Chain A
């Protein structure tokens, strides 16, 4: 399975480099490189400075969101948990908006150190706090109530949206412009420096994944059973929540709210290879990357030269899957 996903990722990456609003195509570029010809300035800019960073950012964001979904679902023992649905993304957005509107109030020294990172950091903290709150509200004695989780998610998202609204209301014109660009939710702003800034977070997260998969497999049996099977339950939960906050915060900071990747990808993979988290987490990273690159291709080609926000594309693909799971597994939501 993993091998096929790698092949598919390569294929979709090449396609993503090949298609776009500009005429420059990866094939003509490769052909020129092969023949030793010089690339035109346009080709160089389009390939190297626009499409490639965008492709890599898409990979990072897609992988992060899909693995976040799989981890949240493992943590809550529930296939319906998704950062977008349970309010984690809204918390991250509130963090990002706070940074854009209130960031200038920070002491100059802090601003100098965090410049470029401030929105991402704030989004991380927003996502982290909302995940922690959600876990506290929805989980008692290691058991999560689905209804409480979904309802708490709605409440958290509403609260975050209300505070975000207040902040937007008092934002200056320049800040409003920044907010508008940020909230359009697109990978168009991807640059090499941003990709490089995101890399260490993703690298750290990927090293933590194997530790998490053993713990999450244990937690599938319940927290007490996990402890009896040698899982450091508290450490697993802390790590899982930090992971989700980091990946969701990153995704929100660079691309705004992108929903449903975290629910579609793990669900499809569980159908194919079962619920064991050991293959699930790495495969989710690959399929998440594939899905987001594909969604990005759709978002920038269907109405070219304009762009659809990528969140619209993922929602159109993902919402029906969410409903399908809900209908197929009614027992989870107390309908059986």
Chain B
């Protein structure tokens, strides 16, 4: 369980986050959405301990600050938005860095399995700096997966923190990655992901946190928060979501915007 209470983060002269509460359960995918500049990435960075925040954050019942970084690396892995590397590490070497940081260090066979989970085995021997943005994103995701390969270790759930994990991917790889993330949660791990695309959020997340101006505007299952009222208010434009025929998964097409009427 991750519990964050009254999280406030001040960046420069203004409060980027203003007293946010969140409870995220293992076995679920929790998505953070919101307009540009609403504080999504800042919130994720605060939850991982990367940014200093006022308020309390507990991970699996322990205060985040009290867990040494070495131990923390075995409990959770973090995918940043984009990673540039100065040296020509190969894809395999990049994933191995993640593997060594986690509890499965030494199980080299996991490198290929992690690459397979994000549809990237064919890139294994390529130098990382030569890859396209989307390919690099998949490799970093494989690295992060290798770090917390077993979703539950010794009865303790492990966590993935993902900052826009599918933003640069083509639709095929988006679905591969979403499937991998859902499987991780289904096997008992916890996932907190900052998402940009609301349609992909609707099929990936069990719970959605909508941020606006550093506050929580709405929180709940996708069909509870992706409503015309909430989305139109948060994104400051008229948006009318539809529902898939089964009736539970909402979607939003550009054609439903005022421009297409």
Contact = CB atoms under 8 A, between A and B. Distances in A.
A200 B182 CA distance: 54
B207 to A, nearest CB: 23
A225 B69 contact: no
Interface stretch (A214-222, A247-255, A291-299): A214-222
A229 B86 contact: no
Given A217-B97, A218-B97, A276-B93, A227 B85 contact: no
Interface in A58-84: 73, 77-79
A146 B143 CA distance: 27
Contact of A231 (B69, B74, B98): B69
Nearest to A232: B69
B203 interface: no
A276 B98 CA distance: 13
Interface string A187-203: 00000000000000000
B86 A79 contact: yes
Interface in A160-214: 214
B78 interface: yes
B42 interface: no
Contacts of A220: 85-87, 89, 97
B80 interface: yes
A228 B86 contact: no
A225 B83 contact: yes
Contacts of A218: 97, 101
Contact of B80 (A79, A225, A230, A232): A225
Contact of B50 (A78, A221, A224, A229): A224
Contact of B97 (A78, A221, A227, A332): A221
A332 B85 CA distance: 11
A229 B101 contact: yes
A233 to B, nearest CB: 8
Contact of B48 (A78, A217, A228, A275): A228
Contact of B70 (A78, A224, A225, A230): A230
Contacts of A230: 69-74, 101
Chain A contact surface mostly: loop
A292 B72 CA distance: 43
B114 to A, nearest CB: 14
B119 to A, nearest CB: 21
A225 B97 CA distance: 11
Interface string A225-248: 101111110000000000000000
Given A217-B97, A218-B97, A227 B87 contact: no
Contact of B78 (A228, A274, A275): A228
Interface in B92-115: 93-94, 97-98, 100-101
Contacts of B147: 229
Given A222-B80, A274-B93, A276-B93, A229 B98 contact: yes
With most chain A CB atoms within 10 A of its CB, the pick from B71, B83, B97 is B97
A73 B45 CA distance: 27
B86 A78 contact: yes
Contact of B89 (A79, A225, A228, A275): A275
Contacts of B71: 230
Contacts of A332: 86
B97 A275 contact: no
A275 B101 contact: no
B88 interface: yes
Contacts of A78: 86
29 contacts: A73-B86, A217-B100, A218-B101, A220-B86, A220-B87, A220-B97, A221-B85, A221-B94, A221-B97, A222-B80, A222-B84, A224-B45, A227-B49, A227-B50, A228-B73, A229-B73, A229-B77, A230-B69, A230-B70, A230-B72, A230-B73, A230-B74, A230-B101, A231-B69, A232-B69, A232-B70, A274-B88, A275-B88, A275-B93
Interface of A: 73, 77-79, 214, 217-218, 220-222, 224-225, 227-232, 270, 274-276, 332
Given A225-B83, A332-B86, 11 more contacts: A221-B85, A221-B94, A224-B45, A225-B80, A227-B49, A228-B72, A228-B73, A228-B78, A229-B73, A230-B74, A274-B88
